[in-house]
A = this chain, B = another copy of it.
Amino acid sequence: MSNFLGSHAINMDAKGRLAIPARVREELAHACGGRIVLTANADEERCLLVYPEPQWEALRPQIEALPNMNKAARRLQRLLLGHATPLELDSAGRILVPPTLRSYARLEKKLMLIGQGKKLELWSEERWFAWLDESSDEEEMPPEMEALSL
């Protein structure tokens, strides 16, 4: 099972392509043969999610099955299903990010790719750093988290 960790600064070229870092490329190669699905993130942070295709296929039916009389559920469906795009790495290990997703996540030239275990997140560098600087201690923690000893 794939296990993406760490973060990488990467650049998008003028045509909206980005080169996946070599380390991550290896992970992807044996997790899904380079076949990935790119989609939008549902929470308030406008970043993109990068799933190995099998991971996505496991997740998709769960999203589709949500009770869609519920507003939050409909929102999740529209965002995730509505943006999902299957992609393959080209011969140089690059992917082309569709214009819709580019603008959803406000991607400019400088990006950050963040490992999150079974998936990756793709952020505009500017937004990532802004998010890091946001203070956090106002949030309330779930009990599992209170109990953690790092």
Contact = CB atoms under 8 A, between A and B. Distances in A.
Q: How many copies does the complex hold?
A: 2
A5 to B, nearest CB: 4
A142 B67 CA distance: 8
A43 interface: yes
A145 B6 contact: no
A6 B98 contact: yes
Interface in A94-150: 98-100, 104, 112, 114-117, 119, 121, 131-132, 135-137, 139-142, 144-145, 148, 150
Interface residues of A, number: 57
A50 interface: no
A22 interface: no
Q: Is the interface of A mostly helix, strand, loop or mixed?
A: mixed
A84 B150 contact: no
A26 interface: no
A90 to B, nearest CB: 17
A140 B98 CA distance: 31
Closest 5 pairs (CB-CB, A-B): A72-B139, A82-B114, A5-B84, A6-B85, A7-B100
Interface of A: 5-9, 42-44, 49, 59-60, 62-67, 70-78, 80-86, 98-100, 104, 112, 114-117, 119, 121, 131-132, 135-137, 139-142, 144-145, 148, 150
